Structure 1
Amino acid sequence: MKLSKVRWGIIGCGDVTEVKSGPAFQKVENSELVAVMRRTGELAKDYAERHHVPKWYDDADALIQDPDVDAVYIATPPGAHKEYTIKGAKAGKPIYVEKPMALNFAECQEMITACETAGVPLYAAYYRRALPRFLKIKELLENNAIGEIRFVSTMQYQAAAEDVMDPEKLTWRVQPDVAGGGLFFDLASHTLDVLDFLLGPIQSVQGFASNQAGYYQAEDIVTGTYLFESGIHGIGTWCFSAFEDVDVNEIVGSKGKISFSTFGNDPVVLTNAKGKEEWNFEPPQHVHQPLVETVVEELTGQGKCPSTGVSGARTNWVLGEMVKNYYL
């Protein structure tokens, strides 16, 4: 499939599309946002007017079937990703789907099969694969800056947020039937996908998930160990009811280490025999834009996107393996 220009439609124009993603489809070369959809028509209309989008819908099927829409960005919660991906694929539309890619690995496989059968590409919105800070880390690893890679460790924890402490205002992100799991699925998916990007696929996983604070039904702490296909070891803990915010990843090698955060703007730090070296990166205004550029380049025959349905599904598999004891 090769397009001269990609005309996008968005299904689910909620908060993530206001700044992080939506404007990117209008700013990338050879890309245009032509339609948006939200179940509440007035909200879809409001978004379209504020962002100067010519069409709005309150029916996803209508947007998918619109002949002016070449490709579909699915920005709903994960519970609807499979349905809209399959419908879009059957309509012959390339799909760019939010993360995590689906509720579970089995749904991801169905989505991949549907797109392969229809002959359309499927992309997962793990935008960190195209951000300069993570490209720098990949460059350091490829240039042997820390020697042979031995293991990676992750420590990410935070205090419980108000939207998970009040059962009357419970965010969808901690409702497993909508999100796939708890905040682990929403947040840890970014880190695990970045590690897949930097170190290659994970082949074996063992994890323990629990709910310690009791604010909601989903897991609120996960600890896991994993083995990458390359032989690199990994360990991580994610807790969402702790006393402060911590976000630290370390990739340790035979000759040094690289320290970085997944979500923060603190520097990437290389430590080796030469001492310490740091690199600072300011995130782009629209964090999806670098990845959307690669999607548009691939659809117009000018490049390749590093985040596909296949790579996105691998992350869903790891997430599922880490929490399966909790949901047995």
Structure 2
Amino acid sequence: MAIDTQPGHRLDKRPGSSGPPQVIRKILLDNGALSALVVMVAVMAILSGNFFTTTNLVNVGVQAAVTAILAFGVTFAIVSGGIDLSVGSVAAFSAVMLGWFAKEGTPLWISVILAILVGTACGLVNGVLISYGKLPPFIATLAMLSAARGLAMVVSDGTPLLLPQGISWVGENLNDYIATPVIIMVLMGLVAGLVLTRTYSGRSMYAIGGNEEAARLSGIRVKRQKLVIYALVGAFAAIAGIVLASRLVSAQPQAATGYELDAIAAVVIGGASLAGGVGKASGTLIGALILAVLRNGLNLLDVSAFWQQVVIGAVIALAVLLDTLRRRA
């Protein structure tokens, strides 16, 4: 009898070790968030005849856009073993600064760049507090959450600032099938994916999140990379704030309140580990879409907003539990 010595070839095909059921099981385990999204869309389509209309699907994408852009930034922090609770406040502060710059007569495109730089600066402050001040990310970003929201109130005097009409297109639909916020969401997702997979900083995030001390010993300048990580988080938060403000055509100091929790939830639902070292942009996008589909579907079904929070909390807990079980398996 000839013996197959080729690497990777198995002679002991045990019962149940292959075949369609096992392939499907593997796909579901390896792509749990995507599988959940597909099932959720199918269920909502069955329960509500209005769900699968073009208008509603575009609305789902628009609703997911701001959360997804925030979550892409938060992915950097979580992959590196940290967290950022300040992204909602930084988004609002950046948008308010956009309105203030425009109000002072600064050209619109310069105002947008300055607003993004404001968000980046907030992220850098977080990075300095974490890297050099030795503050836990939770505490440092919690402080920024309060400070950025307070600064937004101070600059705006607690009232919304009107934005120039020239930026309203950022929050509008191009046609019945395409919305600008969705395009920006996809572009920012591609940027996040490239940063994570194709750059030195991205690889450093995984190394730091996996084992910070080992990353340091391997030559990674951990403190400097943390500055880069949180600066990126701040920049993404600023872009999300601009998209949100453009939809309202006004910068509101209380905007994006609680969005940081949705962003973190999207990252976790998408398969990232809060322990660090695990996560990807595509998973985060799916997580944001799951939250948007869930909220949209529950609204169509006339479910109370109070019960919606209960359902979303249960989904987050279930996602983390299933991810834990999958990793053990």
TM-score by length of 1: 0.23
Q: Bigger relative contact order, structure 1 or 2, given CA contacts below 8 A and separation 6+?
A: 2
Name whichever structure is richer in strand by fraction.
1
Q: Rg larger in 1 or in 2? A: 2
Name whichever structure is richer in helix by fraction.
2
